[in-house]
Structure 1
Amino acid sequence: MNILDWKDIYDSKVVSAKEAIGYIKSGDRVVTGHAAGEPTYLIDTLVDNYEMYENVEICHLVSLGEGKYTRPEMKGHFIFNGFFLGAGTREAVAQGYANYSPGFFHEIPKLFRTELPVDVALVMVSLPDKHGFCSFGTSSDYTKPVADSAKIVIAQVNEFMPRTFGGNLIHVRDIDFIVEHSEPILEQQPAKVSILEQKIGKYCSTLIKDGDCLQLGIGSIPESVLPFLWDRKDLGLHTEMASDGIVDLMLAGIINNKRKKVEPGRSVITFVMGTRRLYDFIDDNPEISMNPVDYVNDPVTIAKNDNVVSINSCIQVDLMGQVASESIGLRQFSGVGGQVDFVRGAAMSNGGRSIIAMLSTAKGGTISRIVPFLDQGAAVTTSRNDVHYVITEYGIALLKGKTLKERARALIKIAHPKFRQELREEYERRFLEPYEYAPAVRRSVKETAEE
């Protein structure tokens, strides 16, 4: 029997980008790699040849690219269906010539295997190793599962893509068409943290203890916590996303994952998004375990770790504790992402805590983020039943186990001072008692222990 060497298999699948995208047919559903794993060369080639197609559906979550396929002139050729919106795709959905589909991040791979079967996966991978395995590098998330289930897999092989450990590999025999094109992968510079966000980060850090297992969401608020963790010991990391902030904490041994129950000794991540420094750090690093999102973000998996601390941000919180993180009124801004996955995973974790952190105002201080009612049409991302702590630059509000009156009072205390009076007036209308009335203090076991 003649058994081909993997190199022969590889060579037999190498084609030009133009030839590869020729296997995409009108009406196909095409799912592209995620975040820094976006196969930019393949996507650019697809867009450059848009007249070849009619009604090709393009799906993805976070994109760092320009989203050229969402431009008005692409109408009739491509239709974008996003599960998380960003700068390159948000306006297209707002203008009605693209779509948004809600869904918890950990359920996205299942959606692409069932209700939304994938015709073509466009992905980016590393160079193959000596056994013929390529790595999805920065993005396992839904990218790896989609490549496992798609009818056709087209891979851009890029020497700049790092190789990462974990469940994040594909053998060349499982790739249908290989396009060799090396270029620097997309980067995202660290978020600039304001003085007020530093205050929020410090408040958040007071709820983080030695040995805790962290999840950090996207943006400057979660990033603001990291500088306040230098005196902690034996922190763990089990997170949807990681950025440059983890590098120094891991190098210093502050994040060492010694006390974790799930993959002790390794940081478990589903995608990274940052600068080349981060990408070089995860390359061939046995302390990093990159895995699909239906494993990493599954609340059951998260809860197997003790003392999970989940830190995410939002757009608005109402006086009942309902959290809107993805839309501004009817305008879809981003997506659910993994916020609810980790809020619930932390709640199920022994000793777990979840934090929703935000600046108290938006638009230069003209709008309060703590509001009597969410904007009309706004989606409730995290329900009032799930919320644990809410933090602004004015302090910490513990909502778990609190009555509606107690929740409202706690949130008014951490609202911006110039909006507190109107919030107090709403309190009095709603609860039919003066805000100045001082009810009996009901301290929780948690609060008593913290004192």
Structure 2
Amino acid sequence: MWKNVYNEKLESIEEAILSLPKTVTVVVGLAASEAQGFLSNVHKYKDHFDSLRVLTCLDMKEYPFFENKEYEGKMVNHSWFFSPPTRKARENGLKTVDYIPNNLHMAGTDKLVAEKNEGRTLVFWGTVSPMHEDNGFFSLGISNVYEMEVFEQADRVILEVNDQMPFLHGETGIHINQADAVVENSWEVPTLPAVEPTETEETIAQYIADLVEDGSTIQIGIGGIPNAVAKLLDNKKDLGVHTEMFTESMIDLFECGAINNTKKTLWRGKSVCAFALGSKRMYKWLNDNPGVWFMKGHYVNDPYVIAQNDNMISINTAISVDLQGQVVSEAIGARQFSGTGGQLDTHRGAIKSKNGKGIIALRSTAKNGKISTITVAHPKGATISVPRHDVDYVVTEFGVAHLRGKSLSERVKLLISIAHPNYREQLKREAKEIGYIL
């Protein structure tokens, strides 16, 4: 029965694109769930559109519609989180890419309200796993950060069925009756190579691991420092997972017995996440795994939800921290480098948790030691990702600074103590010049 409904709604990618209104906003999935069939082909139909706005997040590939100046004025990519492809287009001076400031748990509401207020038609072009013929349900791809919310608000729903996309449990089900059209496009789900930590990152990780107690619920980001932390948690007991991003290291911790989710306050027995990005091994492990629950990012990243997990530990990385404790994680000066993502969400949730900890980690220097990442003041135009009144722990390879509740002069002294020794006297001198310390 459901296969017949499916066949009635099946269209080619060209037919589906040409069915879109001339002025339209199309939202695709995040990262490895981005609809490659749509994104790779939409530029071919430039003349069909008066104004096409595509909303993406953490683009994994370069696509012609935002790489080429000829599409300016007709096509634009608004992104919730810059990645190398979108960053490159922006730095090349193209008007086809722009950044959307956001807290990630609000991405599926704030921007869509703005689009609706402009009177634009909203289309969800979502990537899904193949339909279960016995019940007619698809599973969203490996991201539910904003996708289900967009699906629920969209004026039109087009599903891009990828036979290589894992089937995931949680708030991921979409029924064939809820789709206006279906297209088929088989593509390999993008992977993200594991980053081996440096010696410096391993030192930072040891400080962080010492802050994680048995029975904690963890949120770990991605990169050298988080990977190093995960390796040092294999001797912990009864850890749980409530995280924006499910990472490769969590599988290792599950398989060695460190993660079992038995002591979680919220969703006991389940690893809760909003999206995943990693290796083919990870995608195979996640496929039809009822122990991992992909829930709406609006819920997973809500600080008030996160705070319901006792002993919540949020571990994120930063580009720089000033002596007041203001954290910059997404920009280098005025240059948008990545995005706020869920960093502030998870940090705030952790510090509101009973016995929780919000941890910001960074190397003490950048550019081969030429720049101190602990600084008196951030460069002009820099974006603050975690305000000073939220910051909790800051960790470098030289130690831990617990800033929560500390006065300004106390913060200055603590942060200087974990700065690279080559910059401590300079920082102290500059702090005195502007009156941070006397």
1:355 aligned to which of 355, 359, 362: 359
Question: Which residue pairs with 2:346 in the alignment?
Answer: 342
- CA distance in 1 between counterparts of 2:435 and 2:102 reads 35
Q: Which shows bigger deviation, 62-71 or 156-165? A: 62-71
Question: Which residue pairs with 1:366 in the alignment?
Answer: 370
Mapping for residues 378-417 of structure 1, pairs under 5 Å: 378-417=382-421
- CA distance in 2 between counterparts of 1:205 and 1:193 reads 14
How far did 1:433 drift? 5.7
Question: Which residue pairs with 1:92 in the alignment?
Answer: 89
Question: Which residue pairs with 2:57 in the alignment?
Answer: 61
Report the AA paired with residue 54 of structure 1. D
Report the AA paired with residue 159 of structure 1. D
Question: Which residue pairs with 1:327 in the alignment?
Answer: 331
1:197 aligns to 2:201 (yes or no): yes
Q: Is the 8 A contact 1:38 1:65 kept in 2?
A: no
Deviations 1:326-359 (A, max 9, x none): 1111111111100110111011111110000011
**4+ residue runs over 6 A deviation:** none
Q: TM-score, structure 2 length as denominator?
A: 0.95
1:146 aligns to 2:150 (yes or no): yes
Deviations 1:303-340 (A, max 9, x none): 11100000011111000000111111111111110011
Mapping for residues 211-290 of structure 1, pairs under 5 Å: 211-290=215-294
2:435 aligned to which of 413, 431, 440: 431
Question: Which residue pairs with 2:113 in the alignment?
Answer: 114
Deviations 1:345-388 (A, max 9, x none): 01111111000001111122211111000111101110110000
- CA distance in 1 between counterparts of 2:23 and 2:425 reads 55
1:45 aligns to 2:48 (yes or no): no
The percentage of counterpart residues that share the same residue type is: 38
How far did 1:253 drift? 2.3
How far did 1:42 drift? 2.0
Mapping for residues 172-191 of structure 1, pairs under 5 Å: 172-191=176-195
How far did 1:45 drift? 1.7
Unaligned ranges ≥5, structure 1: 435-451
- CA distance in 2 between counterparts of 1:140 and 1:176 reads 20
Question: Which residue pairs with 1:13 in the alignment?
Answer: 9
Deviations 1:209-233 (A, max 9, x none): 1000001123222222100011100
Question: Which residue pairs with 1:376 in the alignment?
Answer: 380
- CA distance in 2 between counterparts of 1:347 and 1:32 reads 32
1:123 aligns to 2:126 (yes or no): yes
Deviations 1:272-310 (A, max 9, x none): 011111111111111100011001001111111100000
SS of the equivalent of 1:241 reads strand
Report the AA paired with residue 83 of structure 2. G
Question: Which residue pairs with 1:159 in the alignment?
Answer: 163
- CA distance in 2 between counterparts of 1:292 and 1:48 reads 33
- CA distance in 2 between counterparts of 1:248 and 1:230 reads 8
Q: Is the 8 A contact 1:156 1:180 kept in 2?
A: yes
- CA distance in 2 between counterparts of 1:192 and 1:25 reads 46
How far did 1:200 drift? 1.0
Q: Is the 8 A contact 2:39 2:63 kept in 1?
A: no
Q: Is the 8 A contact 1:405 1:431 kept in 2?
A: no
- CA distance in 2 between counterparts of 1:173 and 1:112 reads 26
Mapping for residues 19-38 of structure 1, pairs under 5 Å: 19-38=15-34
Q: Which shows bigger deviation, 146-155 or 376-385? A: 146-155
How far did 1:432 drift? 7.4
Report the AA paired with residue 36 of structure 1. A
- CA distance in 2 between counterparts of 1:293 and 1:17 reads 28
Report the AA paired with residue 120 of structure 1. V
Unaligned ranges ≥5, structure 2: none
Question: Which residue pairs with 1:300 in the alignment?
Answer: 304
Q: Is the 8 A contact 1:190 1:243 kept in 2?
A: no
Pairwise CA RMSD: 1.5
Question: Which residue pairs with 2:75 in the alignment?
Answer: 78
